[in-house]
Amino acid sequence: MAKVKKASESLTIMTNIVLPNETNSLRNLFGGELLAKMDRCASISAARHCERRVVTASVNHVSFNHPIPEGGVVVLESKVSRAFSTSMEVYVDVWLDDPINQKKIHTNEGIYTFVAVDEFNRPIPIPDMIPETEEEKLRHAAAIRRKELSLILSGRMKPLDSIELKKLFQEPEETKDSKKDKK
Ligand SMILES: CCCCCCCCCCCCCCCC(=O)SCCNC(=O)CCNC(=O)[C@H](O)C(C)(C)COP(=O)(O)OP(=O)(O)OC[C@H]1O[C@@H](n2cnc3c(N)ncnc32)[C@H](O)[C@@H]1OP(=O)(O)O
């Protein structure tokens, strides 16, 4: 297995048409259906990167910016944005594609964390990942902050142990001083 892989090697594209049984009462794609599609797409990217079985460790962020109507063509594109030791972040972009008028609207994005596991479901090391495009480089650089935030929110890291986000959780000196004054 290669020790370093490119982000583009994990690119996964899934194209689907929205069927009536996937919609909500407004006849738009139901959010939970979209989340499942995003998880499937992202997990294939993760498996392509590490060439191993993967499990979803965390769904770090999902935004719903634009509804996707029944009959719409939905395109999901995912790529690994950063590889850590045994875990990796995967970015999923979702588009509503209008093949007749040749228009594409970016409707959603999601950020997932997957962990590569062995046959006993224990985490195992994965190849590193090199970003190449500007967007890949930006997502790669910010991924370390998102990882720390996800670990803090899931109770796996103490805020003050974080390297990138420590400041967010530290009380400013002035506040500490004003508290002392009140005592
Ligand atoms: C060749 C290819 C062709 C492709 C074609 C085949 C495609 C084939 C696709 C298969 C697709 C199946 C996709 C199923 C996707 C589900 O549906 S999985 C079901 C839902 N998920 C689960 O059940 C997972 C349950 N959780 C677990 O098993 C364990 O908690 C985990 C996730 C393995 C972690 O285990 P642990 O012992 O706690 O491990 P720990 O060492 O503490 O953490 C391991 C890493 O995870 C990170 N981590 C853990 N939790 C978090 C968190 N909340 N946030 C961020 N990072 C975290 C840690 O920081 C650490 O990262 P590294 O610094 O090592 O990189």
Neighbours of 14 (CB within 10 A): 16
12 lines ligand 1 (CB under 6 A): no
| CA–CA distance, 131 with 89 (Å, rounded to integer) | 13
Q: Give the residue whose CA is nearest to atom 53 of ligand 1.
A: 58
| CA–CA distance, 1 with 52 (Å, rounded to integer) | 10
121 lines ligand 1 (CB under 6 A): yes
**pLDDT band, very low/low/confident/very high, at 161 (cuts 50, 70, 90):** confident
Task: Provide the pLDDT for residue 168.
Answer: 76
162 lines ligand 1 (CB under 6 A): no
124 CA distance to ligand 1 middle (Å): 10
177 CA distance to ligand 1 middle (Å): 42
Please enumerate in sequence order all residues whose Cβ is within 8 A of that of 45, keeping only pairs 6 or more positions apart, or say none.
10, 11, 12, 78, 79, 80, 90
| CA–CA distance, 56 with 53 (Å, rounded to integer) | 10
Whole-number Cα distances in Å, 28 to 16, 22, 32, 63, 74 = 14, 8, 12, 15, 12
Average of per-residue pLDDT across 93-102:
94
Task: Provide the pLDDT for residue 8.
Answer: 97
Rounded to two decimals, the ipTM of the complex is 0.92
Average pLDDT, the chain: 92
